[in-house]
Amino acid sequence: MARYWCEQSWSGDPDEAVLRNVLVEVSNGRVVTLQAGIGGAPDDADVLRGLTMPGCANAHSHAFHRALRGRTHGGAGGGGAGGGGGASGGTFWTWRDQMYRVAAVLQPDLYYRLARAVYAEMAQAGVTAVGEFHYLHHDVGGARYSQPWAMAEALAQAAADAGIRITLLDVLYLAGGIDQPLSELQRRFSDGDHDGWRARTEASGARLATYRNARTGSAVHSVRAVPRDALAALERERPRGPLHAHVSEQPAENEQSLAAYGCTPTELLHRYGLVDDQFTAVHATHVTDHDVSLLASSYVCLCPTTERDLADGVGPASRLASAGTRLTLGSDSHAVIDLLEEARAVELNERLVTGRRGLHPPARLLGALLHDGHGSIGWDEHGWLRPGSPFDVITIRLDSERTVGGNDALASVLFSATASDVTDVIADGAHIVADGRHRTIDVAAELSAAIAALDDLADGSS
């Protein structure tokens, strides 16, 4: 039985208050008892100073996009694995071309190294579970790996070695656009047809079942990349578990869908029975009132730091929440990895657009990182800190220059804390981050080495 004494703790339930002086007893990675008002820390208890709460779910990640950070945000491209930053110009679509240059050269061994460092960066930021939207399935040119799960296993092993849980959302990606062929680069993403995707995901799922930190789910890349016959096949033979799709991130996607199908991307997915309580619409930035009503029982994963970097726009988060949609959050392109920043941006971006404050209670936005985030990636029992729950927790300091002086711990954390204020992370029984540092991985050094190796490969191939 391990014992932890928390200066303050929060269960993750928006209707419950923050507790003080809390003794938590843990056995086999689960909370056994939780008792508030224990004045001093017992000698045999680990002391967690600050606010301890459930670990965060990062519900939308493309791990390899981390290699583009610091290279593409100016908007123009050219040079190195991710292109050199320019001062002006560029769109979502030119950013995507730079991203494809990285995708062109990754192989399983290097993807493992890069992803391990990225997931360790996430751990340091308080993430204990990630939803990896995985479409880099095949070798260059679309050739099959002898082990078709090679890339998926690289990601599961990377998460295991970083100490976090992963849901591998295996992406169906068949077309370069509506009625468009795949580009040479996009061949790596495609299984040829729905049956090919199904066969590979089943093999991959069986392989990943040996990883205690890994679960699997499905994804439709977007209505641009998946033709209607494949959506119909998915409707007939839908695997159990979460289903995610990029939806209406850009106005151009809506225009293309309306022109080809006479309906929005959400309406098209709904026609094929895919929009239900297991479904997560990623972004949902440019959705109509009808789309919002269709998404009422689903999840929507907002990725505000990516959406602002790519000039996507501000989605209707409060309208979605009012309709009943469960909001979740993801760092997506990893322009930054700071889930508290994602959560606060939902409220602050909407303030700018609407001229109104207080659209989302702080506890609800933090909840998007906790139980709803975990639910959307298939870890339904996670995201709570209470007896019986898995003991995946993080501690956020309330005495840093950013957080000191507040009188409401949840508001301080949501509006003032950053990833740098996460001091401790405990997941699946292991204390993986202490004093703000990953205990087994030198995150900056490993990111640097992996991205340098990627640069060498990209330079050699261009």
Please provide the distance, in angstroms rounded to a whole number, between the alpha carbons at the two ends of the chain: 56
Q: How far is the CB of 109 from Zn ion (least distance, A)?
A: 24
Q: Are 393 and 55 spatial neighbours (Cβ–Cβ below 8 Å)?
A: yes
Tell me the CA distances in angstroms from 188 to 47, 97, 134, 175, one per residue in order.
48, 15, 11, 12
Q: How far is the CB of 48 from Zn ion (least distance, A)?
A: 33
Q: How far is the CB of 349 from Zn ion (least distance, A)?
A: 18
Interface with Zn ion (CB under 5 A): 332
Interatomic CA distance for residues 51 and 49, integer angstroms: 7
What residue spans of 324-434 are helical by DSSP H? 339-354, 362-369, 371-376, 409-416
Q: Which of 264, 281, 273 is nearest to 237 (CA)?
A: 273
Q: Of the two residues 246 and 360, which places its CB atom closer to Zn ion in the complex?
A: 246
Q: Which of 273, 313, 314, 315 is nearest to 297 (CA)?
A: 273
Q: How far is the CB of 155 from Zn ion (least distance, A)?
A: 15
Residue type at position 436: G
Q: How far is the CB of 133 from Zn ion (least distance, A)?
A: 5
3-state secondary structure of 15: coil
Q: How far is the CB of 62 from Zn ion (least distance, A)?
A: 6
Interatomic CA distance for residues 189 and 103, integer angstroms: 10
Q: Of the two residues 137 and 438, which places its CB atom closer to Zn ion in the complex?
A: 137
Q: Are 149 and 214 spatial neighbours (Cβ–Cβ below 8 Å)?
A: no
- The first and second tokens of residue 212, run together, are 């205690």
Name the residue whose CB lies closest to Zn ion.
332
Q: How far is the CB of 60 from Zn ion (least distance, A)?
A: 6
Interatomic CA distance for residues 132 and 66, integer angstroms: 13
Q: Of the two residues 332 and 421, which places its CB atom closer to Zn ion in the complex?
A: 332
Q: Of the two residues 10 and 64, which places its CB atom closer to Zn ion in the complex?
A: 64
Q: How far is the CB of 224 from Zn ion (least distance, A)?
A: 13
Exposed/middle/buried for residue 313 (C-beta within 10 Å: 0-12, 13-18, 19+): middle
Q: Of the two residues 60 and 200, which places its CB atom closer to Zn ion in the complex?
A: 60
Q: How far is the CB of 10 from Zn ion (least distance, A)?
A: 29
Q: Of the two residues 253 and 332, which places its CB atom closer to Zn ion in the complex?
A: 332
Q: Of the two residues 96 and 351, which places its CB atom closer to Zn ion in the complex?
A: 96
Q: Of the two residues 343 and 394, which places its CB atom closer to Zn ion in the complex?
A: 343
3-state secondary structure of 394: strand
Q: Of the two residues 332 and 455, which places its CB atom closer to Zn ion in the complex?
A: 332
Interatomic CA distance for residues 243 and 309, integer angstroms: 25
Interatomic CA distance for residues 5 and 41, integer angstroms: 6
Interatomic CA distance for residues 173 and 299, integer angstroms: 21
Neighbours of 378 (CB within 10 A): 19
